[in-house]
Amino acid sequence: MIRVLIVDDEPLARERLRTLLAAAPDCELAGEASDGAQAVAAIQQTRPDLVFLDVQMPEVDGFDVLAALDHENMPEVVFVTAYDKYALHAFERQAIDYLLKPFDNQRFYRALERARTVLEARRQRQLNPALLRLIEQVSGNGRKPGRLVFKSSGRVVFLPTETIDYVQATGNYVTVHAGAESHLLRDTMTNLEQKLDTAKFARIHRSSIVNVDRIKTLEPVASGDYVVLLRNGARLQLSRTYRERLASRIGMQL
């Protein structure tokens, strides 16, 4: 069953989509939204498979809706609009289809059939989590992925972990420093630490994780602690709580 959300600020447009969907036996209506803010909340709450999404809406448009979602909440999307000028941007956002108003019934059902194909392919790619963990253990000895994948300014960024110098906590966020780039992520240090290879990265403070290969020197300070000096010039505090973790990575007692 395909769970569908309808988003349009025009009541008549929502009614027509609702009527067309009612004739599709493999679809069920997950809900409706009349503006972008409602759409974001509805997607997060109902987790639909497919969204028929109007582009032009007051304050928060269709593209803003997608930008507000994280990867886990991202449904498949068919854009619905009276304007053809947004088509290129829609397909750049990986839209399944672009319905230009007014469209006939046949055109709608072609878009729906396209959605069926895409959703079935996605379901085929989804493995049972336990099976996936077993595959990782057999093929990669449980190694962590060699990249972080996250959204930044509407883009999906693939960041190789080998490029990361260090990570620092910034309030409710973490800042990932990689060469000349810095990325602010809404994540926790504990969660991010679990995504990084423990053979290469060490937690040195409740607010800092460091790529061990980027360490230049450990400089003792008067309190008996150390300052970790990185090759890029960054200076980070090594707290006593995490000293043994770093010692085990570098193979010597501190």
pLDDT at 216 over 80: yes
| Whether 11 and 102 share a structural domain | yes
Q: Is residue 212 in some structural domain?
A: yes
| Whether 113 and 20 share a structural domain | yes
Question: Letter for the amino acid at 195?
Answer: K
How does residue 240 score in pLDDT terms, banded at 50, 70 and 90?
confident
pLDDT attached to residue 139: 47
Q: What tokens appear for 183 in the block?
A: 């990325």
Question: Letter for the amino acid at 180?
Answer: A
Show the domain range for 239: 136-250
| Whether 63 and 153 share a structural domain | no
pLDDT attached to residue 194: 86
Q: What's the whole-model pTM score?
A: 0.50
pLDDT attached to residue 233: 92
pLDDT at 86 over 60: yes
Distance CA 137, CA 143 (A): 8
| Whether 12 and 120 share a structural domain | yes
Question: Letter for the amino acid at 198?
Answer: T
Q: Is residue 141 in some structural domain?
A: yes
Q: Is residue 131 in some structural domain?
A: no
| Whether 140 and 89 share a structural domain | no
Last residue of a domain, one of 66, 99, 125: 125
pLDDT attached to residue 68: 87
**DSSP readout, 23-38?**
T-TTEEEEEEESSHHH
pLDDT at 70 over 50: yes
Q: In 10 A of CB 4, how many CB atoms?
A: 26
| Whether 35 and 106 share a structural domain | yes
Q: In 10 A of CB 174, how many CB atoms?
A: 21
How do strand 50-54 and strand 76-81 relate by DSSP bridges?
parallel
| Whether 147 and 194 share a structural domain | yes
In the chain, % of residues over pLDDT 90 = 42
Least confident residue range of 8-17, 68-77, 172-181: 68-77
DSSP-based helix, strand, coil % in the chain, nearest 5: 40, 30, 30
Last residue of a domain, one of 93, 125, 157: 125
Q: Is residue 130 in some structural domain?
A: no
Domain count within the chain: 2
Tell which wins on pLDDT, 131 or 205.
Answer: 205
Last residue of a domain, one of 72, 99, 125: 125
Distance CA 39, CA 46 (A): 10
Q: Which of 138-142, 148-152, 202-206 has the highest mean pLDDT?
A: 202-206
Q: Is residue 224 in some structural domain?
A: yes
Report the CATH number that the domain containing residue 239 is assigned in CATH: 2.40.50.1020
Tell which wins on pLDDT, 249 or 63.
Answer: 63
Give mean pLDDT, residues 4-15.
94
| Whether 213 and 178 share a structural domain | yes
- Reported as a single tens digit per residue, the pLDDT across 89-148 is 766 777 888 889 899 999 999 999 999 998 887 776 654 555 555 555 554 454 566 888
| Whether 79 and 105 share a structural domain | yes
| Whether 141 and 107 share a structural domain | no
Buried b (16+ CB within 10 A) or exposed e, 36-56: bbbbbebbeebebbbbbbbbe
